[in-house]
Each structure stands twice: as C-alpha cells, then as structure tokens.
C-alpha cells in the first residue's frame, strides 16, 4: 500500500507537469492523449520506485511534499534529456530548437547528441552520488550550506536554459537568476522537512520547475511559450478546450498547500 501511495503521488506530479505543458503547447501542436499521459505514467513509475529507495512515508504530509518534489525533478530531467539528446524531430516548427544545438545550430549527428547526453547524465548521477555521500555524515550543516546545495538544480536549469534560449532571444539577467533564487527558497522550506541534502536539492528543483512554469503559463496565458514565439496557432480550438484543465490544476496546488500546512503545523 505504501508503494501504491508513492505511485499515486508520482502520478499527480506527472499530471501537474503534463497539464502546464499541454496548456502551452496544444494551441500549436494539438492535443494528444498519448502525449498527455506520458508524464503521469512516468511519474507513477518513479513514485513507486523512489518511495522504497528514499524511505519516505506517504502517510506523513511532509514526506508527501518531498516525494512529490523529488518525482517532479526526476521526471522533468528525464523528459528534457530525452527531448534534447535522444528524440529526432523536425525543428522547423520551433522558434527555439528543442534538440541539442550550439549557438542556435542544431547538432545533426545522433551519435554526437547521444554522447553528449551520456556525459550529461553521468554528471547528474555523479552529483546525486556525491550528495548521497554527504548525507552519510552526521553533522549539523549551516543554513548557507543547505541553500547552496539546495539551489544546485536551479543553477543547472539556469545555465541549461541560457544555452538553449539565449541564441534565439538574447541573454536575460533576471530570467537567468530566477531559478537559482527560487530553488534556494524552496530548499530552505524543504530543509524543515528533512536533513537529507539530496532530498532537499531534488525537491527544491522540482518545486522550482512547478512554480516557474505555473507562473509563466497561467499568469500570462496569451503569451506563447518561448519555443513557439512568433509561430502560428494551428489549433485555435484548444485555446478554449484547455480551460477545462485549469480547475483540476488549481486543485493540485491546493492539495499541496494543505499538505504543507499540515506538515509545518504538525
């Protein structure tokens, strides 16, 4: 039952990510049930696997929050790695290329992209391993140390985003520092739920992505996603149909806020 609960939490994390992705992309690409189900199914699998590995108990509100953030971070990382290094797709429909590119020029060699992706994954796994080793040390860490490690995911996102977006839309200072600052804030919150640097870092990364994408998607619904900037809307009916997903999406955030209230007032 605990593993099943972990799978359900992962499913909800995947639904959250799938919903903002659909909301921004569907007017340009159309709605696909298969595409929409991809993140929830992957999230469910990650939740079922992660729960016993990291030992979180879904019966506790604080552990629910951590597991949701951890699954969110891992699912988003896997999705971006797949789109950047593995998937072959016509890039002409994008204003900003989604596949690996150097200064806006897409790397056409599949083997070069796979090699770069393998190196990138090795670096991420090395970071995870290093944080796991640090977690074995029974020491009390200063808040600044926790914030520095907790913001690592935000820095990775900032540099990766700049590499991808800056050649097309220019370097934006505020945009660059947004993710690291948010990740540090979420790390400070997560540190109130666990002493694990690994869990703090992953959860902070997950909530940084969730918060940033929610802000960009639902606070500026008429502004096209960066990768579709200036591109035509091929499915205008989705501008209306996508509104059905807003209330369930808000309910997911509501559930997280309730869990947070319970976790910090327990």
Would you give the DSSP letter of residue 224? P
Q: Is the pTM of this model over 0.75?
A: yes
- Per-residue tens of pLDDT for the chain, all 266 residues: 788 999 999 999 999 999 999 999 999 889 999 999 999 999 999 999 988 888 888 889 999 999 999 999 999 999 999 999 998 887 777 777 788 888 878 888 889 999 999 999 999 999 999 999 999 887 788 889 899 999 999 999 888 888 887 777 777 788 889 999 999 999 999 999 999 999 999 999 999 999 999 998 998 877 777 677 777 888 999 999 999 999 999 999 999 999 999 998 86
Residue 50 belongs to what domain range? 2-264
The tokens for 266 are 């327990």
The number of beta carbons lying within 10 Å of the beta carbon of residue 258 is 11
Q: How many domains does the chain have?
A: 1
Task: Note the pLDDT of residue 188.
Answer: 95
Using DSSP, state whether 102 is helix, strand or coil: strand
Distance CA 212, CA 217 (A): 9
Q: Which of 54, 86, 79 is nearest to 67 (CA)?
A: 54
**Packed helices 2-29 and 246-264: angle between N→C axes, nearest 10 degrees:** 140
The tokens for 188 are 């400070």
- Give buried/exposed letters for 22-54 (b at 16+ CB in 10 A, else e): bbbbbbbeebeeeebebbbebbbbbbbbbbeeb
Q: Is residue 50 within 8 Å of 74, Cβ to Cβ?
A: yes
Give the distance from CA 149 to its chain's centroid.
17
Give backbone dihedrals phi and psi of 106, rounded to 5 degrees, phi first: -65, 135
Task: Note the pLDDT of residue 170.
Answer: 76
Q: How distant, in Å, are the alpha carbons of 19, 24, 119 from that of 109? A: 32, 29, 16
The tokens for 137 are 């040390």
Using DSSP, state whether 77 is helix, strand or coil: helix
């Amino acid at each position: 039952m605990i593993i099943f609960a972990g799978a359900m939490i992962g499913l909800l994390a995947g639904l959250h990510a799938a919903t903002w992705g659909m909301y921004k992309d569907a007017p340009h690409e159309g709605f696909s049930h298969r595409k929409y189900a991809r993140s929830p199914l992957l999230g469910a699998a990650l939740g079922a696997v992660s729960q016993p590995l990291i030992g979180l108990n879904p019966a506790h509100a604080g552990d629910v929050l951590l597991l949701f953030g951890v699954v969110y971070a891992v699912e988003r990382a896997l999705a971006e790695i797949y789109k950047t290094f593995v998937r072959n797709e016509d890039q002409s429909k994008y204003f900003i290329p989604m596949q690996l590119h150097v200064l806006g020029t897409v790397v056409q060699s599949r083997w070069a992209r796979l090699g770069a992706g393998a190196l990138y994954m090795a670096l991420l796994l090395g970071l995870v391993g290093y944080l796991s080793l640090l977690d074995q040390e029974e020491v009390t860490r200063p808040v600044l140390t926790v914030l520095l490690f907790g913001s690592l995911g935000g820095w990775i996102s900032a540099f990766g985003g700049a590499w991808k977006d800056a050649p097309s839309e220019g370097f934006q200072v505020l945009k660059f520092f947004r993710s690291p600052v948010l990740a540090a804030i979420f790390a400070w919150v997560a540190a109130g739920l666990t002493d694990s640097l690994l869990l703090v870092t992953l959860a902070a990364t997950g909530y940084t992505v969730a918060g940033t994408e929610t802000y960009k998607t639902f606070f500026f619904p008429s502004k096209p996603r960066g990768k579709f900037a200036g591109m035509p809307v091929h499915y205008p009916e989705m501008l209306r149909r996508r509104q059905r997903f807003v209330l369930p999406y808000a309910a997911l955030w509501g559930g997280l806020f309730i869990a947070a209230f319970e976790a910090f007032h327990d």
